[in-house]
Structure 1
Amino acid sequence: MRKEKIIGIDLGTTNSLVAYCDEKGPRILGESLPSVVRLSVEGDVEAIGGEARRHAVEYPERTIHSAKRLMGRGLKDIEGELGYLAYEVVAGAQDTARVHVGKAVVSPQEISAMILGELKGQAERELGEAVKKAVVTVPAYFDDAQRQATRDAGRLAGLDVVRIVNEPTAAALAYGLGLSGGSKDEEESESSGISLVSGISTGGSSGGDVSLNVKVNPEACESGADDLRDGSGADLEGASDEQGGDDTNRGGTVAVYDLGGGTFDVSIMKLNRGGEGGSVDQVLGTAGDTHLGGDDVDRLLVEMMQGEIREQFFDGKAVQFPASTRQAFRNFAEAMKIRLSNEMEARVEVQVGEGQVYERVVKRDEFEGMIDGWVAKTLVACGKALKGAGLSADEVERVVMVGGSTRIPYVRQKVSEYFGVQCYTALNPDEVVAMGAAVQGAVLMGVKQDMLLLDVIPLGLGIETMGGAVAKLITSNTTIPTRATEIFSTYVDGQTNVKIHVLQGERELVEDCRSLGEFELRGIPAMPAGLPKIEVMFLVDANGVLNVMATEVRSGKRASIQIIPNHGLTRDEVELMEKEGFEHAVEDMNMHRLIDLRMNSRLDIRNIKKQLERVADEIDEGYKREIDDHMAKVQGYIDADGPNGDEFQEAMTAMDHATIRLAEMNIKKTLRDEGLDGQ
């Protein structure tokens, strides 16, 4: 008999989400639902979600938000919250909090049930069948009364709440941390020097989007002695500092850092791996601030803009801005914050009136200085939670980032430095709690977590190189944790940005593999093609989380991304990809070989032509014709449709041998020009 589906619900203070987990892994059903309900004077639902929130200003006394804070609470318990609520809260049975709207008095459980009912409907539309069971998350600090109120809300919505899960626990389960994983020591031995920042995907690379190449510049003689290393023109071998390690089944201490728009919480937990659902032995310590979040960052930016406008255009007078202008400032501030999380600067322009325009460029380092105190407050709370747990920061093995404000790179950097480990950021921080609830639901349904195949790498992992080929860094069936590095270079002269496209699969071409994510390495010093040395590192930790870092060795510029490479693939799909890889192995390898030959020969011809120009007044006409003939032959293979790979390689080798004397002439000219020829 088929088991009933169990959905996972993140019943949030600001937004709520529903998710489902099957053998493909967890996924969000529908869209994020604002936790806002507008009631009629009779207490019936008029609007819910985005519609209710958009018109909250028009119906402040009938628009109910933050009902979660009232759940299972007495009126005295929430006295400090009442000043933030536009609707009326009154005492109900046993002095419990109730919402008074028109002729009706409604319990917070009924409000939450309306939200849960909407999420239930979203799930049923996505899954195509009725849903009756759910796992629902609550804050770690919820007491028994609040947890029972959450169950009651589920019952009112027509849901059997089969399990209540702490939000921090759910976040950890989404990464599989409560199900398996290695120790901190093991992880650090594989990830020394990794500093996680958010993936960047803004703008194209100079000279082309995808321009990684596995050859360095044969024409290095032009750039001085330091760049003569790797200047032979030979293909670089893949690195291949690849290593494996056994997974463990030990428990661990996890910190969940939850920084949203309006609130902050940190929980220190002891996980029990190997038990049903990866249960939590205990919450060791919690701390936070119910009025600390991304809204504070927006306010800092708004105050900066308003203060500077007053100084520039109103002689510092305390001008009051109208409501519409204040809302525009908030919109500008939020847009700047998001842009500065992805780029190094953000520009704002405000029409002040009478032809006056306020223009401002905020650079990321200035922004980080502005928010430093804000981030420091969250770290103080981390210290309090650790003190309550009787632990030091270096005893925490994993840090999971939750909440939209954790997308800010400076937040991730400071939290990583504080705990001394890289943070888990592969999953959407707004969705990770709902996905964890869905994982718990899958465990209760009997769907095994080894469905994610994260004890080994089931399919090869690599990056796209110029021409649409895939350079594999980690091969299939490698035991995790594992690490691999390889050196690449650019294909276009003066290229300052490189897009790193991460792929999974057994085939040799990008079009036949699964895209996992992209990010950009930006700010590379402009150099001739093939001269930059870009080290790409793949690190898969004991929990199957893939960290990809790209570093330009000479400049030290770096960027990275974090991915869970197997969510969304079933065993059958993995086996099919393996089978296709085997069936097309010879064909794929030939195609890959031809792509590499074309790319490398184009680079060689370009460099040979530059070398010919440099010694045009010294080279004899017969030797030049010989080189031209070789280049023409190689160009013929480049342009041919499906050339013979062996013949192509022979032509390239012959051209390389023929140009040895040309390279020597260029080196001698460089030495003469720099006065290093001993004369």
Structure 2
Amino acid sequence: MRPSIGIDFGTTNTRLAYFDGRQVRLLTEPQSSSPFIPSAIAYQQGQPLASGGQAKERHGDMAITSLKWLLAEDKVIDVGHPRHGKEPIEVVTDYVGYLRQVLTDQRVDIKGLKVALTVPVNYPLKARRALLEAFNQGGLPIANLYPEPVAALYAVASIQHREGVSAIMDWGGGTLDLACLKVKDNKAYVLSSTGLKEGGDDFDEWIAREALEDFLRQHPKLEADRQLIWKNKNLGLRSRSEKRKCEYLNNPTLRWDNFVGQYDLEYRIETSRFEERLRSPVSKALRLFSQMIQESGESERLIEPVVLSGGTRNLDFIRCSFQNEFGQRLQDELPQADYFRDLERHRIDSATAIGAALLQAIDSHPVCSRAIGIRLADDRQTASTDLFWPIFKRGDKIDPISKVTMEFFVTNPSSGVARLLICDQLEPEIEPAGRLRKFFPVPIDRRESRIYLTFRITEGLLLEVTVQGALAKVDPENTRTYVADLALGFELPPIS
């Protein structure tokens, strides 16, 4: 096993796991003993002023947070310069430069080290590409990209080496990510995965807005300045809400002296209202879990353990809800192991970074745990009659460089549109037509008798399908590219 680095670039916090060939070490900022490095950066006059913990603690009112989600948006970021802002990729690049400095300060020689990065299950393709570019520009080129819940669950599976099916619910600041993993014959396969873009940051914002409402009720003459107050104070208010959120039962009072002028803000989180806010996402999470297990083809009662990780799991209402649902099957601790014997705490919250480092250390190559293919039909056929045509077979290694191009003859539909259905398939006997993952209407010139489909797996582990007709040289508009998130699986060799 070779030295490696695993990075969990979270919405709220980033974790860095360094594997030196024998043990995993969680890296910290120089001024902190915590492995949680806030995903935050503050600017002054367009230049980085502080990053990580210092940005959050000293400049919370101006710190830019939720950095990875900036890459999914098309907007210029205000960095305190009077004439211009920065593109999201530039902001993330600056933060990556700070992470590189943390590694250097911890005396980690990054020359020759391979770095693995994790992303949420449903993280957009555009954002994945920008994220890889930002890490490359920031001096930490990425060797492999893994789904967050897969890396976290691997950290557990690599220790227990127990055959069977396990699952994870990784609830962080920005997303809830779920995965189901089957271990058999010392190999692990991801059967299914899914995600939800709702997390601790959304609950922080709810508390912050409730606090502002309460403040304005006490000071109605400031109501006219509501939007200005929120614009200037929302970052600091959300930061304070984050601290109170996890203590809402024992220490629920949020205070901010001189919040607006000489007026102080003091807001007490109402337990019943806050738990009512949490009830809907918890119910949605449990429904997603059931749907994921159903897709995996496994029996839900045989799933063990059900791992609960991520900072949002620490909310009492969420923890108790999942405890009631899963009972003794629920596991929220990472078992002890020789290669991270010295990690005393935070292990489960750092499981994603640890798993990424271990995956990279053994150079685990992603494979198809389900066959991936298409169903192609004209507008007169129904989906149920389409035939599944495999492109990548179950167990095939995923190589982002290679492409597969296939020629298909088509019956020209009167509408000039064919239907391309991206599917995957676990067992041909069980799913002869495959499981539909995504549907695309494909424009076809009525003069066409054939189309060409090119399939490749992107560096972000998504399936990219390019559809090209024979007349594309004459009409460039006859070429289309589609992308499908197939929740690809991995073959995970055991760690000796």
- The TM-score, its normalising length taken from structure 1, stands at 0.40
Relative distance call for 1:335 and 1:36 in structure 2 (3 A) is: closer
Match among 378, 387, 397 for residue 304 of structure 2? 397
| Identity, % of aligned positions | 23
2:176 alignment partner in structure 1: 265
Q: Is the 8 A contact 1:37 1:65 kept in 2?
A: no
2:481 alignment partner in structure 1: none
What's the CA shift string for 1:370-423, capped at 9, x where partnerless? Answer: 532343343344344445445564343232333321111221221233345323
CA distance in 2: counterparts of 1:157 and 1:325, whole angstroms: 30
1:376 alignment partner in structure 2: 283
Relative distance call for 1:35 and 1:318 in structure 2 (3 A) is: closer
Unaligned regions of 5+ residues in structure 1, if any? Answer: 71-77, 89-100, 183-249, 446-679
Relative distance call for 1:52 and 1:424 in structure 2 (3 A) is: closer
1:287 alignment partner in structure 2: 195
CA distance in 2: counterparts of 1:25 and 1:401, whole angstroms: 24
What letter corresponds to residue 265 of structure 1 in structure 2?
A: L
CA distance in 1: counterparts of 2:107 and 2:122, whole angstroms: 32
Relative distance call for 1:122 and 1:326 in structure 2 (3 A) is: closer
1:600 alignment partner in structure 2: none
1:587-602 aligned at under 5 Å gives the runs: none
Q: Is the 8 A contact 1:135 1:162 kept in 2?
A: yes
CA distance in 1: counterparts of 2:118 and 2:144, whole angstroms: 8
Report whether the alignment pairs 1:254 with 2:170.
no
1:121 alignment partner in structure 2: 101
Q: Per-residue deviation at 1:136?
A: 2.0
2:370 alignment partner in structure 1: none
What letter corresponds to residue 100 of structure 2 in structure 1?
A: K
What's the CA shift string for 1:114-173, capped at 9, x where partnerless? Answer: 444432332233135344322222233457876666555554444464433221122113
Unaligned regions of 5+ residues in structure 2, if any? Answer: 30-35, 335-344, 365-496
Greater helix proportion? 1
CA distance in 1: counterparts of 2:262 and 2:86, whole angstroms: 53
Match among 411, 435, 440 for residue 354 of structure 2? 435
CA distance in 1: counterparts of 2:125 and 2:273, whole angstroms: 45
CA distance in 2: counterparts of 1:436 and 1:387, whole angstroms: 25
1:7 alignment partner in structure 2: 5
CA distance in 1: counterparts of 2:257 and 2:85, whole angstroms: 46
Q: Is the 8 A contact 1:37 1:52 kept in 2?
A: yes
2:245 alignment partner in structure 1: 337
1:132-151 aligned at under 5 Å gives the runs: 132-133=112-113, 134-141=115-122
Relative distance call for 1:52 and 1:335 in structure 2 (3 A) is: closer
1:279-428 aligned at under 5 Å gives the runs: 280-289=188-197, 292-302=198-208, 304-305=210-211, 313=218, 322=229, 330=238, 333-340=241-248, 343=250, 346-347=252-253, 367-389=274-296, 393-420=300-327, 421-426=329-334, 428=346
CA distance in 1: counterparts of 2:84 and 2:14, whole angstroms: 28
CA distance in 2: counterparts of 1:356 and 1:376, whole angstroms: 39
Greater strand proportion? 2
1:87 alignment partner in structure 2: 77
Q: Per-residue deviation at 1:288?
A: 0.6
Q: Per-residue deviation at 1:29?
A: 1.0
Q: Is the 8 A contact 1:287 1:384 kept in 2?
A: no
1:19 alignment partner in structure 2: 17
**What secondary structure is seen at the aligned counterpart in 2 of 1:413?**
helix
**What secondary structure is seen at the aligned counterpart in 1 of 2:102?**
helix
Q: Please, which moves more after superposition, 140-149 or 427-436?
A: 140-149
1:441-456 aligned at under 5 Å gives the runs: 441-444=360-363
> RMSD between aligned alpha carbons?
4.8
What letter corresponds to residue 105 of structure 2 in structure 1?
A: R
Relative distance call for 1:412 and 1:316 in structure 2 (3 A) is: farther
Q: Is the 8 A contact 2:153 2:181 kept in 1?
A: no
Relative distance call for 1:273 and 1:49 in structure 2 (3 A) is: farther
Q: Is the 8 A contact 1:269 1:282 kept in 2?
A: yes
Q: Per-residue deviation at 1:8?
A: 1.5
Q: Per-residue deviation at 1:434?
A: 1.4
Q: Is the 8 A contact 2:76 2:85 kept in 1?
A: no
Relative distance call for 1:114 and 1:329 in structure 2 (3 A) is: closer
CA distance in 2: counterparts of 1:68 and 1:328, whole angstroms: 19
CA distance in 1: counterparts of 2:86 and 2:210, whole angstroms: 43
Relative distance call for 1:13 and 1:314 in structure 2 (3 A) is: closer
Q: Is the 8 A contact 1:267 1:283 kept in 2?
A: no
- The TM-score, its normalising length taken from structure 2, stands at 0.53
What's the CA shift string for 1:213-267, capped at 9, x where partnerless? Answer: xxxxxxxxxxxxxxxxxxxxxxxxxxxxxxxxxxxxx142313x23223x22232
CA distance in 1: counterparts of 2:363 and 2:142, whole angstroms: 12
**What secondary structure is seen at the aligned counterpart in 1 of 2:246?**
helix
Relative distance call for 1:349 and 1:424 in structure 2 (3 A) is: closer
Q: Is the 8 A contact 1:20 1:439 kept in 2?
A: no
1:579-618 aligned at under 5 Å gives the runs: none
Relative distance call for 1:137 and 1:412 in structure 2 (3 A) is: same
Relative distance call for 1:325 and 1:150 in structure 2 (3 A) is: closer
Q: Is the 8 A contact 1:266 1:381 kept in 2?
A: no
**What secondary structure is seen at the aligned counterpart in 2 of 1:339?**
coil
Q: Please, which moves more after superposition, 399-408 or 314-323?
A: 314-323
**What secondary structure is seen at the aligned counterpart in 2 of 1:431?**
helix
Q: Is the 8 A contact 1:11 1:116 kept in 2?
A: no
